[in-house]
Amino acid sequence: MLKEGTKAPSFALPDQNGQVHTLEEYRGKKVILYFYPRDNTPGCTKQACAFGELYPQFSEKDAVIIGVSKDSVASHKKFEEKYGLPFLLLSDTELKAIQAYDVWQEKNMYGKKTMGVVRTTYLIDEQGIIAKAFDKVNAAENPAQMLGEL
């Protein structure tokens, strides 16, 4: 996990509509950048839906929510449509941002070691500096926690 007070790594990734976004285009706004393992899984769905429910409050605080996983653009589009998600879901199939943000790690699933995305959320300030970093977050509670951090 990256340390608080460090510059957030740049990225250029496509969203659920295929449009490429960079971190730099959000300078001047707070960014909630959350990494999650997979679309349409129970924990990831809870986290995304909770961010969606709180979206108006994040917008009032001039904060942008961006979810990132290694799922495809098409998978993100289906996920967005199924749950009516009002924020960006970025596709990182090549693991560029996932590795740059140090969230691709060894996981232990039922005694079997595998590599995967560790659920992690970063709060990036208006100047592109990591203000807060949370790893192994509780999917259901993370959105309210991040709103509190703003």
Looking at the chain, which runs of residues are DSSP E strands?
12-14, 20-22, 30-35, 63-69, 88-91, 104-109, 112-117, 120-124, 130-135
Q: Is 44 a catalytic residue?
A: yes
Instruction: Please give the C-alpha separations between residue 140 and each of 46, 53, 54, in angstroms, as whole numbers.
Output: 5, 12, 12
Q: Which residue out of 13, 23, 32, 44 is catalytically annotated?
A: 44
Q: How far apart are CA 36 and CA 32, in angstroms?
A: 13
For 36-64, give one letter per residue: b (16+ CB within 10 A) or e: bbebeeebbbbbbbbbbeebeebeeeebb
Phi, psi angles (nearest 5°) of residue 130: -70, 115
Phi, psi angles (nearest 5°) of residue 81: -70, -40
Catalytic residue list: 44
